[in-house]
Amino acid sequence: MDLSGLDREAKERLALLLAEREKRYLQRKFHRMFPDEDTIQADGSLIHAREKYVRHMEFFATGLTYRERCFMAANRIGKTVGGSFETTCHLTGLYPHWWIGRRFDQPVRAWAAGKTNESTRDVVQKELLGDVVPAGKGRKGFSGTGMIPGRLIEAVTWKQGVQDFADVVKIKHASGGLSSLGMKSFQQGRGSFEGTAQHLIWLDEECPIDVYGECLIRTATTGGIVMLTFTPLEGLSETVLQFMPQDMRPE
């Protein structure tokens, strides 16, 4: 692009337009996921067609039938990506044309949790919402470059005692209302999972069995769903055994 013929003001306007275009691109990660065909992105990266993500598709589809699901697999295969994608679908009410899993037609109450406050902030929160950035007037917000489209992040409240860790995030839903996303961690103990009924709980990393049991209670009255995504690094724990076929369990 030859900019030699532009004056300073025109160059500044162009820079602003390009920056806005880049921002909008980065805030639309959700819409680029699991495409019909292999797709080359603007940055040169490749996103594979969803037909190559067989296990992810099975995981999504079984949500229509099963209230409890576990994506138990090796490291670095996209478990967290899958969990964040489905969580975003339910929070926003934006379901892709190929979706055959569970649907919610109205705004939902959801929790997302990881092992510690810090790991939940650095992995789960970032995957869903992007980086923490200044939002003007001494406030802070999110970049919106995570799975949840930035334009749909309505409001954020923050936890006390943990830097840059959100407490509750309000997300715009396709119906016109607001979904609520609460951030939790297993470190807080079973007691922090008591209280209000939830439609969706996503647990990223293996949780203690008492936390898992509490999550089932929180979703019982709503007919909600509990999703786990983790690599079984702690052996045949009680949580792992919950999802193993009977004939594979030790006697």
Residues 14-35: what's their mean pLDDT? 86
Higher-scoring residue by pLDDT: 49, 138: 49
Higher-scoring residue by pLDDT: 248, 9: 9
Residue 105, helix vs strand vs coil: coil
Is residue 21 very low, low, confident or very high in pLDDT (cuts 50, 70, 90)?
confident
Residues 82-110: what's their mean pLDDT? 98
Beta strands of 76-151 (E only): which ranges?
109-114, 132-136, 139-142
pTM of the model: 0.92
Phi, then psi, of 91 in degrees rounded to 5: -65, -35
- Work out whether strand 200-204 and strand 109-114 pair parallel, antiparallel, or are unpaired: parallel
Higher-scoring residue by pLDDT: 152, 42: 152
pLDDT at residue 20, as a whole number = 76
pLDDT at residue 239, as a whole number = 93
pLDDT at residue 113, as a whole number = 98
Q: CB of 119 within 8 A of CB of 205?
A: yes
Residues 164-169: what's their mean pLDDT? 98
Cα-Cα end-to-end distance for the chain = 70
Is residue 25 very low, low, confident or very high in pLDDT (cuts 50, 70, 90)?
confident
Is residue 2 very low, low, confident or very high in pLDDT (cuts 50, 70, 90)?
low
Q: Which domains does the chain have, with CATH numbers?
A: 9-244 (3.40.50)
Residue 134, helix vs strand vs coil: strand
pLDDT at residue 24, as a whole number = 83
The C-alpha atoms of residue 168 and residue 48 are separated, in whole angstroms, by: 33
Q: CB of 154 within 8 A of CB of 178?
A: yes
